[in-house]
Amino acid sequence: MVTAQTPTNIAVIKYWGKRDEDLILPINHSISVTLDPEHLCTTTTVAVSPSFDQDRMWLNGKEFSLSGGRYQRCLKEIRSRASGFEDEKKGIKITEGRLGESAFFSLAKANECERRSRKRLSAIARQGSGSACRSLYGGFAKWIMGKNDDGSDSMAVQLADEKHWDDLVIVIAVVSSRQKETSSTSGMRESVETSKLIHHRAKVAYTFDAGPNAVLIARNRKAAALLLQRLLFHFPPRSDTDLKSASLKRFRSRGTLVKFGSIPFE
């Protein structure tokens, strides 16, 4: 039994569409920023034993089935390198509707017993969830789309380390914790199959999150406050919504949420 804790990443340039769904190979590069695992993360435990009828996995303490093909691909890739280690640290729960792809990277990390190349580990995580391959790095990471048919050149690299952008601010507005009605996989497939402009869009990169929640990135607290005020102006909330303050998390690009506070609405 092995346990790993992995941070969440938020795409600032998102991939939208796959050229190979089985290997999860994208039609464009993507870039993300990584959050601090002490504040927002996934804790994954994997148990593998000849005495089991099947492999077992727990996400944030809750067991769920590993029957899905993506999980099995990850386990198949790294089974020969599995070795026991355990991390007692607990992470904040990620609901199904929020930022959950880091679980796939945790699955890969939890079974990686040797100090392999980060690029190799990133490629393994990619086969569980494409965006998960970027969770290997703090700061800013780029998922290279690659050109090889076998996906051997499709992996993440670090663009800027944790010290690059100290005053970066990220505001996450949790609109809903429910699972998306249309999964990213289904949405991407439909776009690739039906959109005549999909490859033109890929050249400029899709930059909006497909999930139900909004993410705003600003240079400082003042800019973040202005963004929220504009958001409320253009998208008025319900009349019974409490607008006295909004939660703000100050983020350093190494993946450290270092300050909590509130933004007053005037």
pLDDT at 24 (0 to 100): 93
- Measured CA to CA, the distance from residue 138 to residue 158 in angstroms comes to 8
pTM of the model as a whole: 0.66
pLDDT in the model for residue 69: 74
Q: What is the DSSP string of 135-194?
A: GGSSSEEEE-----TT-TT--EEEEE-TTS-TT-EEEEE----SPPSS-HHHHHHHHHHH
Domain range list for the chain: 2-160, 171-264
CA distance 11 to 33: 6
Can you say whether residue 77 is alpha, beta or left, with left for phi > 0 and alpha for psi between -120 and 50 degrees? alpha
The count of C-alpha atoms lying within 13 angstroms of the C-alpha of 167, restricted to the half-sphere facing its C-beta, is 6
2-160 CATH fold: Ribosomal Protein S5; domain 2 (3.30.230)
How many CB atoms lie under 10 A from the CB of residue 135? 31
Q: Which two tokens stand for residue 31?
A: 């870039």
Q: Mind listing the pLDDT tens digit of every residue in the chain (266 residues)?
A: 778 788 888 888 888 899 999 899 999 999 999 887 777 788 888 777 777 777 788 888 888 887 777 777 777 776 655 444 344 333 333 333 333 445 555 555 555 544 457 788 888 889 888 888 998 888 899 999 999 999 999 999 999 987 888 777 777 777 777 777 888 889 899 989 998 888 887 876 655 544 445 566 666 777 777 777 777 777 777 666 655 544 444 444 444 333 333 333 33
Q: In degrees rounded to 5, what are phi and psi of residue 191?
A: -65, -45
Q: Residue 145: what pLDDT?
A: 94
Extract the tokens encoding 1.
Answer: 């039994």
Is there a contact between 35 and 9 (Cβ–Cβ < 8 Å)?
yes
Strand order in the sheet with 62-64: 2-7, 41-47, 56-59, 62-64
